[in-house]
Structure formats: C-alpha cells, structure tokens
Amino acid sequence: MSDEQTFLDALSARGTRRGAEPTWIAARRQAGAARFEALGFPTRRDEAFKYTDVRAIARGDFTLAQDAQDLTPLSPATAAALTLPLEALRLTFVDGIFAPELSDLAALPSGVSVEPLSQALADNHEAVGGALGRLAGVDFSPFTALNTSFAEEGAVIRLAPGTVVEAPILVQFLSRANATPLMSHPRVLIEAGARSQATVIEHQVGEEEAANFSNLVSEVMLERGAILTHYKLQEASLKDLHVSSLHIDQGRDSRFTSFNLNLGGSLVRNDIVAELNAQGAEANYYGLFFAQGRQHVDNHTLVNHNAPHTFSNENYKGILGDRAHGVFNGKVIVRRESQKIEAHQSNANLLLSDRAEIDTKPELEIYADDVKCSHGATTGQLDEEAIFALRARGIDEETARGLLTLAFAGEVMEQVSLDAVAERVERTVAGKLPERFNLAGLVEVAAALDEE
Amino acid sequence: MLEVKDLHVTVEGKEILKGLSLTINPGEVHAIMGPNGAGKSTLSAVIAGKDGYEVTSGTITFEGKDVLEMDIEERACAGLLLGFQYPVEIPGVKNIYLLKAALNAQRAARGEDEMPAPEFMKLVREKIKFMKMDSSFLQRAVNEGFSGGEKKRNEILQMLLLQPKLAMLDEIDSGLDIDAMKVVADGVNSLRDANRAILMVTHYQRLLDHIVPDVVHVLVDGRIVKTGGKDLALELESRGYEWVLEESAA
Ligand SMILES: Nc1ncnc2c1ncn2[C@@H]1O[C@H](COP(=O)(O)OP(=O)(O)OP(=O)(O)O)[C@@H](O)[C@H]1O
Ligand SMILES: [Mg+2]
C-alpha cells in the first residue's frame, strides 16, 4: 500500500462515521483528497522540500482522535501545566478535538467572536464557507490538500470593524502521549474587520512522550487598517511531527506581525505566506528556531508585494545544537508595478555544535525598479572569548553559554511583548535559568535607574 | 596569598613562561614591567584560567588552594579577578546584567543569598558614580562601542562591585587620557586594604605615580629577572631594560 493510501483510507473510514455534511464541505473534502492523491507526499526532489524529508510522516500510521479506541485521557493538571500562564480568551483542542472544559471564552468582548470551527459550521456554515479555503486552497502543498480533506475542527475568530481586543486570543493545540499515534488537521480562520486590532497565539504543546502528527492550516484576512499580531509558539514534544501553513491576505494600511517561535517537534515544517494587496500594507516576520538532538525545523516564508508602497521586514534567528538541522528559506516577490516598496530580510544562525546544520536561502525576486531591499544571512558560533570573559567574573559556564545564546536571540525576543511567551522561550534556549538570573529583578533595577 | 613557583607555560608548542616564580602577600601592590612579548599577559591569563595555555611544570596556589585545579569561574569566585588588557565586547548582554549575574554568582559561591534589587541598585549607582561613568552605560551591551578608555573604566567598575581579593590588572592604563587615568587610579586605590592585593602589568611609570607599588618586578623572556621597590620602576623608565638583562646574565 502506498504511503498516501494509508491516509486516504483513514479519510474514507472517517467519512462513513462522520454523518451528513453540507454538500460544499463534502465537495471540498473530495477536492482535497483528489489533489493530495495526485500530488503525493513531497520528496527531496521537490524544490520546496529540498532539505526536508517528510518520510517520518508519510510512512506513519496515524489515527484520528475521533476514531481512536484506546485514548489516554489528558489530566486537567497536565493540561493546566501546559497552558500559558496569561490572561487570555482561550480555545483548546486536544489532538484536534475541541475541549470546552479547557476553554474560556467568558470574557469575550462585544464585536469579537471566537468559536470552534465545528460550531461555526453548525450555526451558519455559509458564512464560514466563503472564507474558508480562500487563501489556502488545495494547490498550495500536499499538506494543505490533506488538511482540506480532513478538516472538521479548529478555530474561527472574527473581529467586527473597529474592535480592539486587549486580551490575547489563545488557541492551544495539546498533544497527548497515546499508545496509538494520532493525527489532527486543524484549521484556523481569522477575519479582522477594518481597523480592528488583536493578538492571536497559536500554541502547540503536549505531553513529553506524545508522538503525534499535526497538520495545521491558518488563514488570516486583514481588512483596511486592521492590525494583527500573530504568535506561533511551537513547543511540541520532541517526538511530535508538525506541519503548518499560515496564509495572510492584507488590505490597505493593514499591519501583520508574526512571531514564529519554534522550540519543539522532531520534524517541523512551517510555511508563512503574506499577500500585500494594497498600499500601506505591512508585514513583519520575526522568527526563532531552537533545535537540539536530531530535531529538524524548516521555515519557509514568502512575502508577495502585490501593490506599490507596501513594506515587509523579516528577522529570523536559528540556534542549532547537537545534530539538529535547520532550514530557512525566505522569499520576497516584488511585482513590476509594485514601486516604492521596502523589503528587508535577515537570517542569522548560531551553531552550538560541529554537527548541527543549517541550510539558509534568501530569495529576492524583484521586478520593480524603485524599491528598497536588503537581505543577509550569517552563520556563526558562540564567541569563546566572551564566554571566558563571563566565566572570569564568576559566572558558571552553562549560564555563560545560556546568556550568550539568549543575547543572540535578543533582536527577536526584544520584540516579544508577552512575558509568558518570552519566558517559555528563554527557559528553553538558555537551559534552566536559575532564579537568580530572572529578568524580573533587572527590569526593576533598570526602571528605577531610568527614574533618576 | 598568591604563590607562583617555577612556572613553565607553553602556547602552541612555544615556551613562553620559563620558570617564573612570584609571591604576593595580602595588602601588597605589585607591578610587573617588561618588554613586549615577555609573557606578562600570559602570566595573568594562566592565573585566570584561560584556555590554550599548557602548564608543563610548576605550581600556582592561592590562599593555599591549587589554582590549576580550579575552574575559571571558581577562581573568580575565590577572589582572583583579571582586568583585561583588551576587554571583549559582548553584544546583546547588558552591562547591568553582567554585573548582577557576576555578583550573585560570587555570593552564591560564598553561600550568600542573592542581593535584593534595591540594594544592588544602590551599590551599582554608588560605584558607577565613583568611576565617573554615566548610568546609561549600564543599559548598553558590555563594552560594545565603548571607547578604549571607557572599556578600562568598565573593568574597574566590575572590580569595585565584585571586590576581589587579588585584582590582576593588565595594562589598565593603556588608552587612558589624563583625567581617566586619575579616575581609574582612584578606583584601584580604593580597593587597597590590608586583606587585598593588586598585581598590575604596565609599561609606564605614569600609572605607578598614581598607584604606588610596594614591589616592582621585571619580566623578561618568561622569567622574573629583577625585583625591587618602587624606585626600580623609575630606573627602568630612564634606563630601559637592557641593563637589567646584562645584570642578570652576569
Ligand atoms: N595564542 C597564542 N599563539 C601564539 N603565540 C602566542 C599566543 N599568545 C601569546 N603568544 C606569544 O607569547 C608571547 C608572550 O605574549 P604576552 O601577551 O604574554 O606578552 P606581554 O608581555 O603581555 O606583551 P605586551 O607588553 O606586548 O602586552 C608573545 O611572543 C606572543 O606572541
Ligand atoms: Mg600584554
């Protein structure tokens, strides 16, 4: 049996259990399945997967949590420990299944709607139907096609024009340790009306022994003047397999800021694609990937400057230890008629071991002539002189290396305004930061000095 | 306090220190002078524990402990602190962060609790004022974009905060203008007390006018060839090193 057939069989088995669906959903599923079957899983011969081997996914035999017989329940204490400690509107999925008991939408302000996809479809499937799949059709990749064929759960977030949501909207995807490996194909849809403003966090996290496959597709539509900050905090277990694509469609004067923070997963592939469709649109991509052991993390980003006077700025930092492998591919395409655009891109990588590997490729395709563009990629090691200088003041070696590693990530982490997120990243990157190096104390000191 | 006995050190196969001996007692200020390439920086680097130096024979003890058996950070926590000839820039690590991390690491090594933030802040403010540095230096990355003189002041600022038992200062006077020299010297002199010692490497009498040494050594070709009082430095300044060499060869 081919690798693809295993997935198609799981799909038809699910189809017989799922019950009746509106015809447009069924049609879309079919289109996804057909496209996936035609494309097959990508191989290293596909340019977009040149450095990423997805056989660990293709050869896997994953069960949908909806169909699994032997599910190990996730204890509330475990779920609580995994959840980011911040005040947020929260929607939780455990291996793709909505978990109302772990969700909290009580404080939902007016003008905002946050609901699980299943419920949005049940309530008014036509409203969702128009938007869903508009940005991420079945052609983007075999994984989006696969997602489209399976999708039945996820998050739908809608902001009415002018709505400003203070609390972040946290969509968490929990992955549990289970005897049978599970798969999920969640879908996120964000529609931000004109001049609305919000922060959305997609958080992948799970039990240490979890070994599941998640395949997320997110679509974000920003209308005129909308401002959205999007965090992806990927802290999956070191055995989890994770693929995601994030598609953004930007109207005039809209601003999209992405923090793509990857700490976990054994095999990870993220795609981000922003379409800057009208003047004044701005996309900022900040990324950090930290991989150890034999982790493989691949980030592919794309900005399409489809209109004049659009701006993009990208800064990705890779930190790779042991035999980890990182991939960064950042592409910017400027159309001939897109004059007066600005696009800047930088990728710096830190190799903590001789056997760690990075493949970095900035790609600029510029067809307009009046543009301001820059790009650069660097790869280096920790500065041993600096480590000596720190140790020569009494700081132990592990802490010195942690400090310098964090300093390397500084440019990106300084932009992270959610402390709960920054702390998770810093602890992972710098090792067990002893309490005495907690930044909080220093922030106080700094603030007090500034008051002088 | 510090005892170096018959120290032989090789760097990349080349012998740099060739049987160096030196004893420093609490309360003393020692100056080491000598021509370029004699091994002055090598000596302080070996005492501080820098990689790349092979000690082929000899011993270094500090307060009775075998220094060569200690990790770099252990040496610092024991009170052996090196002020660098060329302080390294550490992008992304704020000066204040270094100060706090270093101070608390040393306190932890002594079994003391972390210093509370307000107390720490008061202390830092006092020391930075003493060094006539602007408080904006605390928020800047360690030595990044600092002028030569600012880097040297920053080294002394760390010393003032960490209060080493033995401060080793390698050419702390290079790159200092007259005013900065005074500030740095005041900083170093403020460390002087009966329980502390200072080891300075310098080429110039000018520094020794400000920080008057108890003992002056001449290091030539990996050995201390002459030791004297503060007048020896004056003699070196007027006569150069040749005569010392001839005298020791005779
Ligand atoms: N890493 C190294 N590789 C090769 N040679 C080295 C290394 N470090 C030091 N040396 C050599 O060791 C010798 C002593 O150097 P050192 O820096 O100790 O001299 P110094 O007395 O401090 O001189 P200066 O007055 O110029 O600072 C020099 O010949 C130098 O070239
Ligand atoms: Mg020197």
Q: What is the pLDDT of residues B30-71, one digit of tens each?
A: 999 999 999 999 999 999 999 999 999 999 999 999 999 999
- A314, A401, B106, B195 from A405: Cα distances, Å: 20, 6, 22, 38
Rounded Cα–Cα distance for residues A117 and A185 (Å): 12
**Where does residue A35 rank: exposed (0-12), middle (13-18), buried (19+ CB within 10 A)?**
buried
Contact residues, B window 49-108, toward A, CB-based 8 Å cutoff: 49-51, 71-73, 75-77, 81-82, 84, 87-94, 96-98, 100-102, 104-106, 108
Q: Contact at 8 Å (CB) between A219 and A247?
A: yes
Rounded Cα–Cα distance for residues A362 and A360 (Å): 7
Residues of B within 8 A of A436 (CB-CB) are 101, 104-105, 108, 114
Residue span of the structural domain in which B67 resides:
2-249
Predicted pLDDT of residue A291: 96
- B1, B131, B163, B185 from B190: Cα distances, Å: 20, 11, 10, 8
Confidence check: pLDDT of B16 > 70: yes
Rounded Cα–Cα distance for residues A122 and A119 (Å): 5
Contact check, Cβ <8 Å, A444/B117: yes
All residues at 6 or more sequence positions from B76 whose CB lies less than 8 Å from its CB, including other chains: A391, A392, A393, A394, B48, B102, B106, B162, B164
The CATH number covering residue B34 comes to: 3.40.50.300
Q: Which run of H or E residues covers position A242? A: strand A241-250
β B223-228/B215-220 pair status: antiparallel
Which residue matches tokens 């301001």?
A372
Of B76, B91, B139, the CB nearest to A407: B91
Of B76, B92, B124, the CB nearest to A394: B76
Q: Tell me how far the alpha carbon of residue B85 lies from the centroid of ligand 2, in angstroms.
A: 7
Which position has the higher pLDDT, A2 or B162? B162
Interface test mutation site (partner B, options A381, A393, A403, A452, max chain B beta carbons within 10 A): A393
Rounded Cα–Cα distance for residues B123 and B108 (Å): 18
Rounded Cα–Cα distance for residues B76 and B71 (Å): 9
Q: What is the mean pLDDT of residues B8-21?
A: 96
Q: What is the mean pLDDT of residues B201-213?
A: 93
Exposure letters A428-452 (e unless 16+ CB within 10 A, then b): bbbeebbebbeeebbeebbeebeee
Checking ipTM against 0.90, whether it exceeds it is yes
User: What is the SS3 assignment for A95?
Assistant: coil
Rounded Cα–Cα distance for residues B243 and B175 (Å): 28
A406 → chain B, closest CA residue: B92
Phi, psi of A310 (to 5 degrees): -120, 155
Which residue matches tokens 């109207």?
A251
Q: Which run of H or E residues covers position B209? A: helix B205-210
pLDDT bucket at B139, cuts 50 / 70 / 90: confident
Rounded Cα–Cα distance for residues A421 and A83 (Å): 11
User: What is the SS3 assignment for A69?
Assistant: coil
Q: Is B12 in the pocket of ligand 1 (CB under 6 A)?
A: yes
**Where does residue B12 rank: exposed (0-12), middle (13-18), buried (19+ CB within 10 A)?**
exposed
Contact residues, B window 189-248, toward A, CB-based 8 Å cutoff: none
Distance between alpha carbon A188 and the CA centroid of its chain, in Å?
A: 11
Structure tokens at A215: 């395949």
CA distance B89 to chain A (A): 7
Q: Tell me how far the alpha carbon of residue B8 lies from the centroid of ligand 1, in angstroms.
A: 14
Predicted pLDDT of residue A435: 39
Q: Nearest 5 degrees, angle CA B240-CA B200-CA A394?
A: 150
Instruction: Look over chain B and give the mean of its residue pLDDT values, rounded to a whole number.
Output: 94
Contact check, Cβ <8 Å, B92/A441: no
Q: Is B41 in the pocket of ligand 1 (CB under 6 A)?
A: yes
Q: Contact at 8 Å (CB) between A202 and A171?
A: yes
β A187-192/B29-33 pair status: unpaired
**Chain A contact for B40 (CB, 8 A cutoff):** no
User: What is the SS3 assignment for B13?
Assistant: coil
Q: Nearest 5 degrees, angle CA A53-CA A54-CA A60?
A: 140
Phi, psi of A91 (to 5 degrees): -125, 125
Phi, psi of B206 (to 5 degrees): -50, -45
Q: What is the pLDDT of residues B68-85, one digit of tens each?
A: 999 999 999 999 999 999
Query: Going by CA atoms, what residue is nearest to atom 16 of ligand 1?
Result: B39
Query: Going by CA atoms, what residue is nearest to atom 28 of ligand 1?
Result: B37
All residues at 6 or more sequence positions from A319 whose CB lies less than 8 Å from its CB, including other chains: A288, A289, A290, A291, A349, A350, A352, A405, A408, A409, A429
Domain assignments of chain A as residue spans, ordered by start: 3-278, 383-452
Nearest CA among A234, A297, A303, A246 for reference residue A271: A246
Contact check, Cβ <8 Å, B97/A436: no
Phi, psi of A123 (to 5 degrees): -75, -45
A401 → chain B, closest CA residue: B93
Neighbours of ion ligand 2 (CB under 5 A): B 40-41
CA distance B78 to chain A (A): 9
Nearest CA among B112, B109, B108, B156 for reference residue B131: B156
**Chain A contact for B145 (CB, 8 A cutoff):** no
Which residue matches tokens 């998640």?
A214
Q: Number of folded domains in chain B?
A: 1
Structure tokens at B31: 């100056």
Contact check, Cβ <8 Å, A449/B135: yes
**Residue ranges with strand state E in A277-370:** 282-291, 296-305, 311-320, 325-334, 341-351, 357-366
Exposure letters B106-132 (e unless 16+ CB within 10 A, then b): bbbbeeeebbebeebbeebbebbeebe
**Where does residue B188 rank: exposed (0-12), middle (13-18), buried (19+ CB within 10 A)?**
buried
β A154-159/A112-116 pair status: antiparallel
What's the farthest any 2 CA atoms get from each other in chain A?
72
- B100, B126, B177 from B146: Cα distances, Å: 20, 21, 15
**Where does residue B104 rank: exposed (0-12), middle (13-18), buried (19+ CB within 10 A)?**
buried
Q: Contact at 8 Å (CB) between A59 and A149?
A: no
Positions in chain A whose pLDDT score sits under 50: 434-440
Give the up-direction half-sphere exposure of residue B242: CA atoms within 13 A in the CB hemisphere.
Answer: 3
- Identity at A319, one-letter amino acid code: I
Contact check, Cβ <8 Å, B135/A452: yes
Structure tokens at A33: 């399945």
Q: Is B36 in the pocket of ligand 1 (CB under 6 A)?
A: yes
Predicted pLDDT of residue A437: 42
Which residue matches tokens 């946290």?
A170
Q: Nearest 5 degrees, angle CA A90-CA A180-CA A204?
A: 25
Residues of A within 8 A of B96 (CB-CB) are 442, 445-446, 449
Of A383, A389, A403, the CB nearest to B101: A403
A385 → chain B, closest CA residue: B88
Rounded Cα–Cα distance for residues A370 and A308 (Å): 10
- A89, A203, A326, A450 from A260: Cα distances, Å: 20, 10, 14, 32
Torsion angle of the four alpha carbons B36, B39, B40, B46, in this order, in degrees rounded to the nearest 10 = 150
Tell me which ligand sits closest to the C-alpha of residue B37.
1
